[in-house]
Amino acid sequence: MRIAVIGSGNVGTGLAKSWSKLGHAVVVGSRSPESERLVHLVSGIGNGVSTAALAESVESADVIVLAIPWSAAEVSIAALGDLSGRLIIDATNPFVKGLDLGIGHTDSGGEQVARWAPGAKIVKALNIVDARLLDGKKLDDREITIPIASDDTDAKKVASDLIVELGFDVVDAGSLEMSRLLEPLTLLMIKLSMKKSLGNEIGFRVLRD
Ligand SMILES: NC(=O)c1ccc[n+]([C@@H]2O[C@H](COP(=O)([O-])OP(=O)(O)OC[C@H]3O[C@@H](n4cnc5c(N)ncnc54)[C@H](OP(=O)(O)O)[C@@H]3O)[C@@H](O)[C@H]2O)c1
């Protein structure tokens, strides 16, 4: 599958490494694709990963993943061009002022992304897992659960398959509106990790028979 990962930070790099190792064609969409940092980054990952400017990176992508800070989401999405009909995995969290949710209860980042990218098929996913675990690391010998939310069944299936390939357990959380619950869940995980000193090797898991 051709995957455009938008953003070359913790999440973008982690996903580019893991999916490219699995044989997917990954391009990292960046504001500065020709910078020394980006050239060094993609050559370090290998596996055919390339880098391109934002609009160019999504041209032939089957799946687009948003791995950018919330503060940069609107401008980055605009820079990608017309996204109608495209499958977007939104891994962002609408944090403002450090670790406060800027949207919640009656709206969510996932739904805001859908408004910024009209006609796109948005799947909220991968927002709750620490970037350092994106190689599908198991904890307590179990896969971490990634809840996913979308209004588009087919898009959800494609995203789910890609996330399962990474080594995660996927649970269907329902419609995109469920992002209202998935985004605060991230905050809980971060606060447990940082404020309660549980470290980055913690993950969410839905136990079921
Ligand atoms: N860190 C985690 O463990 C984690 C886990 C799950 C979800 N998330 C979410 O995923 C998103 C990305 O997190 P991250 O930790 O990967 O962030 P990050 O390390 O700060 O990287 C974000 C990337 O976004 C791009 N970008 C575009 N506009 C930007 C701007 N104005 N300022 C800074 N960077 C900009 C940059 O790539 P270019 O310079 O190449 O454009 C940058 O490398 C966030 O919404 C976060 O909440 C994070």
**pLDDT tens for residues 2-46?**
999 999 999 999 999 999 999 999 999 999 999 999 999 999 999
| DSSP, residue by residue, 87-131 | EEEE----EETTTEESS-SS--HHHHHHHHSTT-EEEE-SSSS-G
Compute the radius of gyration of the chain from its Cα atoms.
16
Q: Which residues line ligand 1 (CB under 6 A)?
A: 7-12, 30-32, 67-70, 72, 76, 91-93, 95, 127, 129-131
Would you call 8 helix, strand, or coil by DSSP? Answer: coil
For residue 196, the model assigns a pLDDT of 86
Whole-number Å distance between alpha carbons of 24 and 1 = 5
Residue whose CA is at the smallest distance from ligand 1 atom 28: 72
For residue 195, the model assigns a pLDDT of 84
Q: How far is the CA of 208 from the centre of ligand 1 (A)?
A: 33
Would you call 173 helix, strand, or coil by DSSP? Answer: strand
For residue 38, the model assigns a pLDDT of 98
Q: How far is the CA of 11 from the centre of ligand 1 (A)?
A: 7
Pick from 36, 7, 34, 33: which is nearest to 131 by CA? 7
Mutation probe of ligand 1 site: the residue of 5, 6, 8, 11 with most atoms within 8 A of C-beta:
11
Residue whose CA is at the smallest distance from ligand 1 atom 17: 9
State how far the alpha carbon of 9 is from the alpha carbons of 105, 125, 131, 161, 162, in Å. Answer: 28, 17, 9, 23, 20
The predicted-structure confidence for 148-207, as pLDDT tens digits, reads as follows 999 999 999 999 999 999 999 999 999 999 999 999 999 999 999 988 889 989 999 999
Pairing of strands 50-53, 25-30: parallel
For residue 134, the model assigns a pLDDT of 97
Assign 68 a pLDDT band (cuts: 50, 70, 90). Answer: very high
Whole-number Å distance between alpha carbons of 126 and 165 = 13
Q: Hunting for tokens 């500065």 — which residue is that?
A: 32
Would you call 20 helix, strand, or coil by DSSP? Answer: helix
CATH classification code of 2-194: 3.40.50.720
The predicted-structure confidence for 109-163, as pLDDT tens digits, reads as follows 999 999 999 999 999 999 999 999 999 999 999 999 999 999 999 999 999 999 9
Considering the entire predicted model, what is its pTM? 0.98
